[in-house]
Amino acid sequence: MRIEGASALVAGGASGLGAATSRALHEAGASVVIADLNSEKGEALASELGDRASFVEANVMETEQVQAAVDAAAEADGGLRISVCCAGIGWATRVTGKQGPHDLEIFHNVIKVNLIGTFNVLRLACTAMNENEPDEGGERGVCVNTASIAAWDGQIGQVAYAASKGGVVGLTLPAARDMASRGIRVMTIAPGLFDTPLLAALPEEQREALGAGIPFPSRLGLPEEYAELAIHIVENQMLNGEAVRLDGALRMPPK
């Protein structure tokens, strides 16, 4: 898929992995619609990028809001051909403990945001891409979702998070098969420990310790490295129906 001249939607695109991806796609020549709950950060990033960048406030769980973001991208020059979903939340609670069983509503909310929200973006983006004319390679679009290595290596307390990200990994192949006849590819990136706003809140000593546990390179991943892989996925037509671990060979211990 040629990025230059295409339109891209980045859900959760105002910070962290999403912001890096928004910047990378814009630098590669795409028109970028940044969809995020944080309007302050989203508008600031769109202003920073300038021409070919816009912001739409959207909660991935709200169909009308996601549809508005999809429509904005579909109406931009080139039509919606690239969708990247980085939106998600985390939570740490054991199945049961001193406080009793895991709160069912919290489990439900993590699944709703990370799995159902991702699928909401995917289904609406694919519907818009379905109307595109195929390019010279027969492609109408590329969708990149975000899971986590917790899908395979969930740690103590990550039952909700791991289940949600495991669901994203699990839907990747059947979604790619669903859309294959229309020339729409579906891929998933599963990051390890990345230097995102979530980890930025930790003391530097703890951040360094986390990075030291990664085989190589022994440091936290950079959001730009996630963005580089997203760009490569978009441009490499043979990448389809797969979840790619981006983790420096890290396999998470139980805790």
E strand or H helix at 35, and its extent? strand 31-36
Please enumerate in sequence order all residues whose Cβ is within 8 A of that of 226, keeping only pairs 6 or more positions apart, or say none: 17, 20, 21, 189, 191, 194, 246
Beta strand 100-101 pairing with 96-97: antiparallel
103 by DSSP, 3-state: which? coil
Q: Indicate the length of the chain as a whole number.
A: 255
Q: Is 226 a catalytic residue?
A: no
Question: Quick check: helix, strand or coil at residue 193?
Answer: coil
Catalytic annotation, pick one of 55, 107, 161, 194: 161
Exposure string (b/e) for 118-145, b if CB count within 10 Å is 16 or more? bbbbbebbbebbeebeeeeeebbbbbbb
Residues 6+ apart with CB under 8 A from 24: 224, 227, 228, 230, 231
Which residues are known catalytic residues? 161
